[in-house]
Amino acid sequence: MKLFLDTAKVEDVEQRISTDLISGITTNPTLIKKSGKFPDDVYREFNKLGITDISMEVVGESCEELFERAIHLTKEFGDIATIKLPCTVDGLKACKRLANLNIRVNVTLVFSVSQAILAALAGATYVSPFIGRIDDNSFDGLDLIKDISKIYKKNYAKTYILAASIRDVHSVGKAFEYGADICTIPPSVFDKMYNHVLTSSGLCQFNEDALNFGKNV
């Protein structure tokens, strides 16, 4: 069970990496664009923070383009690079080639069990079902996690389920319950995982009692 942060903002990671609860980072072109920085610059800054698993998405029109860009990233960043590829024909072809070179691959934009099966057969290290986007289209994203997990376990698949597009704390717990190995979450969701009204009220009571203890002895 691991948590990744889904962000391309270095300050998001700087504020939370000291917890030692974050095992990796996932990024995508949209997040990179919002950061206002070039992709490689973002990855270098994450590397300086000690992040050892960064999903770096590559884009291209063909298997060859995807593969070449993936090789560039692995040469530049070494073992910290996990290549993020789309679950398409060309993406899975590139995945198979990279897996044969023992390069980690995260197959993304997965919305069905059949796609997850293909990703596992292509040797993906991670498969990323998009829970929130599935929910947006009137299906149940968490049910997909459950279905993929059953099939992977039954067939001894070595691919890890990396639940993505998570928008609330409840979905984190349910994703792990249903078989996710990793949840990648926005920093805001990570922060909310600490919070519970009963924790806050209980802590206030304990602190108050501790301060008043000596007065009643």
Q: Measured between alpha carbons, how far apart are the two ends of the chain, in Å?
A: 46
Q: What pLDDT sits at residue 137?
A: 83
Catalytic residue among 34, 84, 153, 192: 84
Predicted pLDDT at 6: 96
Question: 2-188 sits in which CATH class?
Answer: alpha beta
CA angle 195, 164, 29 (to 5 degrees): 115
pLDDT computed for residue 214 by the predictor = 61
> Is the overall model pTM greater than 0.85, yes or no?
yes
Give me the residues of the chain with pLDDT under 70, please: 214-217
Contact (CB, 8 A) for 166 and 144: no
Residue 84 is among the residues annotated as catalytic for this protein: yes
> Taking Cα atoms as reference points, which of 53, 100, 104 lies closest to residue 83?
104
